[in-house]
Chains A and B, each alone.
Chain A
Amino acid sequence: MGKYIVRNFVDGDEKRIVELFNRVFGNFSGYVPRTVEYWRWCCLERPDVRRDGIFLLFDEESGNLEGYVVAGLSGNIWEFCCIPSLDVALFLLDRAVRYLEDMGVSAVNVNVPEGCDVLNEACRKAGFARVDVHKMFVGVLSFSKLFSILIEDRKNFFCNRFEEKFCVMIRDAPFWVEKALSIDINRDRVNVFEGSIDSPTVLVKTDVKTLSSVLFGVMNPVHAVLRFKMRVKPFWKTPRFVEFLDSVRLRDAWFWPLGDFG
């Protein structure tokens, strides 16, 4: 382990903390991107967090912030973030646990991304056990908006790959989602809107649960078709629509730091 300096939070550290958080978890999704204002509210002003429960670890030579941990007196480690180094992660975790032990806390909880081996190993080595108590659930409020933001990200790919007019009809749609939506893709642009399109090349009938599950990546579009939860007309266009959904759907698993939970 290199030489590090550990100290508690002082005013003015927020900017560096936020930068580190957004850099370290940049490849993950499912959380609220940190801004100074949000971080101050989420961690610093939280009723169970005291400044002596926020530990920052700096590299002695460069002075760079390498990691930090925010420990609350309720036993929750609201934020735990560091550069991918097992030593740094273990050191910070150990410091937080010792602090909470001194404060008379009975149990400590921490969340880390499943895909981050270093943080997971640090938790195991620090004597933590995995207990997935809470689950995250999601519901769609607007399918057309969801399609838009997922397509917008790789617009050129869709323009080059598909030239179709998809119309999706949603069976038993509750009042807050559209009964039909259309996706018109040609070489120059992608247009997603509520309602049906004239002379669609592909017409799809499905339900809210199936379409949501496919778009959030928890159901494979092929399974949805094979289980007759999604009917495509004309039938021979099924592989085309499945390919489209497979390109649109989310692929990243979401990570929620405890601070975002409540």
Chain B
Amino acid sequence: MAFGRFWIRGGARVEEKVVYRTFKEGDENAVKSLVKSIFGGFLEGEYWKWKYLDNPFFNRQLLAVTEINGEVVGCNHWLLRNFKVSSSVVDDAVLAADVAVNPNYRGKGLGSALLRFLRSSRVVKDKRVAFIYMFADPSLVKKFHAPAAEYILAPDGTAQYTKVLNWKKVKQNVELLNKEIRSGKLHKKLSDDDLKVLFRMSAAPLLCIHVKKDGVAVEESLAGDADIVLSGDLSVFDRIKLSKRGKWSLFKAVLTGKLKIKVKLTRVFDFFHVLWIFEDVFGKKMT
């Protein structure tokens, strides 16, 4: 499927030839590098090959790519699998796996077109596949997948559990932050007095973040008294972390009793002044 379209870039009309087609010999490197640039280490090299090319259910007719002026700028992977629909019914179903669009071409409807493109695939029509399923972040589904491809929440009965073994990644994040502080690039204020914040999360070791005048330190135990103690469920911390309105989510969790906060009254304002540190440290990958 090919068509011409144009958009305005820098005030000038730019015409581009957009092609939607299935994967062919020679696309491998372009698709791999596109997926790697979007999903990072998760799908790089060996992993992509294993997930798709080595997959017993892989069919190259179900890997769609978008090409603009000969460059691969988007891709969508489908896997046709056996699926246990109910306790006594097994049938074919499609897993909609990774969809990727080059960030420079987002917001132009390429992703939505990619979601729809494979729905007219001969393979799916010939096999008379009843449904498609996928795993995603609900906020993205509401904004992107549901309007473009009519997805609904599945009857999900899966309990997902996590246990944090150590705070290695948080320590790495703090090291990065300290480097920025030391280099003087960061124009934000640290605490005038030392501030110790202790996090007691379920399914995780203790985490004490010590904000000093000249930097931040992390300890996995508590030495002395903490000025602020935050305790609650790991999932609550996770939700606050994922939320775009970090401070409001924190308030909400405290007000609804999902997060308990023990604070020395004299240090409340200090805590709010350095909230940006926690947003920075937890905003990156935590575990």
Contacts and interface: CB of A to CB of B under 8 A. Distances in A.
Interface string B155-170: 1111111111111110
Give the interface SS of chain B, mostly helix, strand, loop or mixed: mixed
A150 B119 contact: no
B239 to A, nearest CB: 9
Contacts, number: 246
Interface stretch (A2-10, A31-39, A222-230): A31-39
B235 A111 contact: no
Counting contact residues on chain B (CB < 8 A from A), the size range is 35 or more
B111 to A, nearest CB: 15
A138 B158 contact: no
Given A217-B155, A252-B157, A261-B135, A141 B94 contact: yes
Contacts of A157: none
Contacts of B87: 26-29, 252
A242 interface: no
B223 interface: no
B90 A33 contact: yes
Given A33-B90, A105-B165, A47 B158 contact: no
Interface string A80-94: 000000000000000
Contact of B233 (A30, A129, A140, A208): A129
A256 B135 contact: yes
A46 B94 CA distance: 21
Contact of A131 (B135, B145, B234): B234
B29 interface: no
Interface of A: 26-33, 37-38, 41, 45-47, 75, 97, 100-101, 104-115, 120, 123, 126-142, 145-146, 148-150, 152-153, 174-177, 208-209, 212-213, 216-218, 250-256, 260-262
Interface of B: 46-47, 50-51, 54-57, 81-91, 94-95, 97-98, 116, 119-120, 124, 128-138, 141, 145-146, 149-169, 201-204, 233-235, 238, 286-287
